[in-house]
């Protein structure tokens, strides 16, 4: 459990750094050029890691289901929705909703165990935990004006 | 209203992405799953870029090289997130991930690192982070 927690914390920290770096690129080159660059870099890095870890066995993709090929398009959907949402609501409100929606769907996914992931049964304790986190997000994002309200 | 729907869908898609990566990883390995999903995403986004032509390529030279490679973090992000989802479940993973994300962003903001505009820390942000951590503890214990 501790390893899982640490990995989640590492992922979150890197997401934060990546968001900041991407914002910097975005300011200069525009949002689709940024997305293309970011996904291209991600592909290269993952490809190199696959080669290091698995060697050329990676080219024999045995158990590929057809939908695996298109799941990468979800990432493109994320960008479209983020850009449109932020444009209409401003970063503070948009990101608050994004975070809350992320958590809500996480809970839904665990309880339903869709896509063959191990089911984590729904308990009221979990719902209370998620609601407290949502409260925290709202207080963090909306509570009190910070000095500048530029990026979220 | 449409803004709310877009933001809501963005959150749904981010979680869906983590979950589907975890699912694909079970079959073909985590690094390979990261490789394939990034590749198809890259191709799609490149096609859209050709279509909308909003690229200002001259701007690339004005960006610090460090910021250009931010995308490469995705390899480690996907690997860590997928492994975490497999070990501790989606809810616990996303909750911890978000806390780390918000805390680091906050830290960068108040210190003005990476040329970000410095922001003062206020009480609500501390209470917010505190509440989030309490929430995760409730979730797990």
Which ipTM value was assigned to this complex? 0.91
Q: Which of B35, B63, B79 has its CB closest to that of A24?
A: B63
What's the whole-number mean pLDDT along residues B45-54? 88
Q: With CB atoms and an 8 Å threshold, state whether A11 touches B14.
A: no
pLDDT at A145: 58
Residues A52 and A97 in one domain: no
More confident residue, B6 or A117: B6
Chain B residues with beta carbon closer than 8 angstroms to that of A84: 2-3, 6
Residues A44 and A97 in one domain: no
Please determine, for residue B93, whether its predicted confidence score (pLDDT) is greater than 70.
yes
Task: Mean pLDDT check: name the lowest of A61-65, A137-141, B12-16, B119-123.
Answer: A61-65
Residues A49 and A101 in one domain: no
Q: With CB atoms and an 8 Å threshold, state whether B45 touches A45.
A: no
Residues A82 and A61 in one domain: yes
Residues A75 and A19 in one domain: yes
Residues A148 and A107 in one domain: yes
Chain B residues with beta carbon closer than 8 angstroms to that of A18: 70-71, 73-74, 77
What's the whole-number mean pLDDT along residues B101-118? 87
What is the span of the domain harbouring residue A22? 1-89
pLDDT at A148: 52
Residues A96 and A80 in one domain: no
- Structure confidence at residue B34 as a pLDDT band (50, 70, 90): very high
Q: With CB atoms and an 8 Å threshold, state whether A71 touches B39.
A: no
Distance CA B92, CA A1 (A): 10
Residues A55 and A103 in one domain: no
**Does A2 contact chain B (CB < 8 Å)?**
no
pLDDT at A152: 46
Domain count, chain A: 2
**How high is the mean pLDDT of chain B?**
90
- Structural domain spans, chain B: 1-88, 89-141
Q: Which of B3, B85, B87 has its CB closest to that of A89?
A: B3
Q: Which residue has the tokens 């986190």?
A: A133
Chain A interface, mutation test: which of B16, B59, B66, B94, most A Cβ atoms within 10 Å?
B94
Residues A83 and A104 in one domain: no
Block means of pLDDT (10 residues each) for chain A, 152 residues, are: 93 92 88 91 94 81 82 90 89 90 93 84 91 94 64 47
Residues A21 and A33 in one domain: yes
Chain A residues with beta carbon closer than 8 angstroms to that of B9: 77, 81, 101
Please determine, for residue B2, whether its predicted confidence score (pLDDT) is greater than 80.
yes
**Which residue of chain A has the CA closest to B87?**
A4
Which among B18, B60, B20, B25 is positioned nearest to A49, based on CA atoms?
B25
Q: Are B108 and A16 in contact (CB under 8 A)?
A: yes
Q: What is the largest CA-CA distance in chain B?
A: 53
What's the whole-number mean pLDDT along residues B24-46? 92
Distance CA A15, CA B89 (A): 19
End-to-end, the C-alpha distance of chain B in Å comes to 37
Distance CA A126, CA A107 (A): 8
More confident residue, A78 or B140: A78
**Which residue of chain B has the CA closest to A68?**
B24
Residues A85 and A141 in one domain: no
Q: With CB atoms and an 8 Å threshold, state whether B123 touches A4.
A: no
Q: Which of B8, B68, B130 has its CB closest to that of A97?
A: B8
* Contact residues for B127 (Cβ-Cβ < 8 A; gap 6+): A136, A139, A140, A143
pLDDT at A133: 95
pLDDT at B9: 95
For residue A92, give how far its alpha carbon lies from the nearest alpha carbon of chain B (Å).
11
Q: Are A97 and B66 in contact (CB under 8 A)?
A: no
Residues A114 and A67 in one domain: no
């Amino acid at each position: 459990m501790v390893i899982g927690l640490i990995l989640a914390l590492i992922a979150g920290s890197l997401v934060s750094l990546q968001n900041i770096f991407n914002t910097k690129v975005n300011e200069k080159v525009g949002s689709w050029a940024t997305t293309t660059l970011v996904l291209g870099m991600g592909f290269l890095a993952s490809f190199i890691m696959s080669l290091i870890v698995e060697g050329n066995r990676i080219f024999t993709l045995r158990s590929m289901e057809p939908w695996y090929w298109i799941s990468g398009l979800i990432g493109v959907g994320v960008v479209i929705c983020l850009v449109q949402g932020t444009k209409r609501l401003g970063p503070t409100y948009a990101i608050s909703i994004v975070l809350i929606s992320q958590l809500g769907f996480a809970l839904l996914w665990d309880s339903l165990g869709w896509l063959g992931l191990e089911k984590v049964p729904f308990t009221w304790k979990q719902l209370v935990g998620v609601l407290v986190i949502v409260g925290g997000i709202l207080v963090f994002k909306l509570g009190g004006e910070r000095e500048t309200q530029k990026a979220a | 209203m449409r803004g709310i729907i877009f933001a809501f869908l963005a959150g749904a898609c981010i979680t869906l992405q983590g979950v589907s990566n975890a699912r694909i990883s079970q079959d073909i390995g985590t690094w390979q799953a990261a490789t394939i999903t990034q590749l198809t995403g890259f191709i799609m986004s490149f096609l859209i870029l050709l279509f909308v032509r909003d690229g200002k390529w001259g701007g690339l030279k004005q960006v610090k090289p460090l910021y250009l490679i931010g995308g490469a973090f995705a390899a480690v992000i996907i690997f860590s997130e997928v492994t975490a989802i497999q070990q501790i479940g989606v809810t616990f993973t996303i909750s911890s991930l978000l806390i780390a994300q918000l805390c680091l962003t906050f830290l960068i903001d108040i210190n003005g690192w990476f040329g970000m505009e410095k922001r003062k820390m206020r009480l609500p942000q501390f209470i917010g982070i505190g509440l989030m951590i309490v929430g995760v503890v409730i979730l797990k214990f």
